[in-house]
Amino acid sequence: MGYVLLDDLQAGMVLGDDLFTEKGQFVLAKGVELEERHLQALRRFGILEVDIVGTSQSELDGGELDPVLIEESVRFQQARFSLNDRDHEVVSEVFELACEQTARRLQSGWKPAVANLPETLGEDLDWSNKPTSEDLVRGKVKLASLPDVYSKIVEALNVPGCAANHLAEIVSKDSSISVRLLKLVNSAFYSLTSKVDSISRAITLLGTRELLSLALGISIVRLFRTIPTELIDMEAFWKHSIRTGLFAQQLARRKGLEETEMFFVGGLLHDIGRLVMLVEIPEFYARALVTAQREGLAIYQAERQELAYDHGQIGRMLGELWRLSRTLSQMIGWHHKPQGDRFSEETCIVHLADFMAHALGAETNLASSISPFNPRAWEVIDLPTNILAPASQHVERHFIDISRTFLADD
């Protein structure tokens, strides 16, 4: 018996346990043989996965793994998890998932990329003239204004009684955002029963705040996507960010929270401060990267050691400059240190999402070690650990389509 994702369920499969919705509503009893009408009902109830007798999602996806590759994967992940307490239930579960995920990638021919790090510590830099965090965000940054369409959406939402048609008219004037929004809404990730062919219909189904969140995410990815830097692979950066957003949205959905698109955007933008630092102070930032590698620190710890501020702080300040919601700015600002936001549920979710995205993703990180997970965040999130495996399967299932939507050329 093991969980199987909704999209892979077939008539004839037998339920291995009683099935309930996320709100505790009984749906089907253990032992029921699924019929086509059951599968349609599960979609209506928003069921994500179910326990099935005699199979599991892993078996459906890839079958047996080569023991040699499993051992290689374990060694690889042991080094990456060196900053974490693997006795903690969440870290232990994610470690096991990461080992299996890596082994499957190795079996398909994948090889981990090597981070492109500088060889020197930048001893010739004038550290007395190092820019402050305020210098970065309010002074030199040339990318601190959002596209006009986002500002117009915000203005419209602040007018009482703003109609969906008016918002649709604003969004439709930007063809790139319009196309991406419709692709997202029609993707399997939203599991809508019929195709959405207009922005006004998308707004009706998702809601205005959700539209604003998605438009914001699309705008910022487009704004920052092609910035030049020798220290990071921009495609890998955004893929990690998208994966973090998908994990955050998955966790929020499983908590039964509203406006889950906000969590997606919080994950999508959590590292935006890192881009500012890479663009504006690349030589100083290079030293922080090397320090992280040589001293076995998380990147944000090395940033604070070398620069006296970290990318979360820069991201929060940028969010405030853009007049993002306080919740979104806090998600970005404290994603490595959720205690700084007094362990708010939203920030804790993005903290865990970032941890899982680093552990389970295939993207090249700027440092080999995964930043430490704060156990208190899991107490705040308060979900069973057995949701982590199906959540990761859902993210992988939709990751490619969502990435293509965000990263496609205009």
pLDDT in tens, 243-277: 999 999 999 999 988 778 889 989 999 999 998 88
pLDDT of residue 213: 78
> Which domains, and CATH codes, for the chain?
2-61 (3.90.105.10), 67-107 (no CATH), 115-143+227-410 (1.10.3210.10), 144-226 (no CATH)
Query: Rounded to the nearest 5°, which phi and psi values hold at 51?
Result: -80, 130
Residue 7: name the closest of 406, 396, 402 by CA.
396
Q: What confidence tens digit (pLDDT) does each residue in 278-298 have?
A: 888 888 888 888 888 888 899
pLDDT band at 226 (very low <50, low <70, confident <90, very high): low
Q: Residue 178, Cα to own-chain centre: how many angstroms?
A: 22
pLDDT of residue 208: 77
pLDDT band at 195 (very low <50, low <70, confident <90, very high): confident
Residue type, 385: T
pLDDT band at 360 (very low <50, low <70, confident <90, very high): very high
Q: What confidence tens digit (pLDDT) does each residue in 307-325 have?
A: 999 999 999 998 888 878 8
User: How many Cα atoms sit within 13 Å of 6 on the Cβ side?
Assistant: 20
- CA end-to-end distance (rounded Å), the chain: 45
Global pTM? 0.86
**Contact assessment for residue 5 and residue 50, using Cβ atoms and an 8 Å cutoff:** no
pLDDT band at 23 (very low <50, low <70, confident <90, very high): low
Neighbours of 385 (CB within 10 A): 12
Q: How far apart are CA 141 and CA 25, in angstroms?
A: 51
pLDDT band at 410 (very low <50, low <70, confident <90, very high): low
**Is pLDDT above 90 for 365?**
no
**Contact assessment for residue 285 and residue 122, using Cβ atoms and an 8 Å cutoff:** no
Most trustworthy range by pLDDT among 139-153, 177-191, 329-343: 329-343
**Is pLDDT above 60 for 56?**
yes
Neighbours of 259 (CB within 10 A): 15
Most trustworthy range by pLDDT among 141-145, 301-305, 396-400: 301-305
Percent above pLDDT 90 for the chain: 34
Q: How far apart are CA 196 and CA 203, in angstroms?
A: 10
Neighbours of 79 (CB within 10 A): 10
Q: Which residues pair with 52 in a beta bridge?
A: 2, 15
**Distant-in-sequence, close-in-space partners of 277: CB < 8 Å, separation ≥ 6:** 136, 284, 285, 303, 307, 311, 314
- Token look-up 């979900």 returns 383
**Contact assessment for residue 307 and residue 324, using Cβ atoms and an 8 Å cutoff:** no
Residue 402: name the closest of 216, 103, 186 by CA.
186
pLDDT of residue 38: 87
pLDDT of residue 229: 67
Classified as helix, coil or strand, 5 is strand
- Token look-up 């438009």 returns 215
pLDDT band at 29 (very low <50, low <70, confident <90, very high): confident
**Contact assessment for residue 311 and residue 131, using Cβ atoms and an 8 Å cutoff:** no
- Name the average pLDDT for the chain: 84
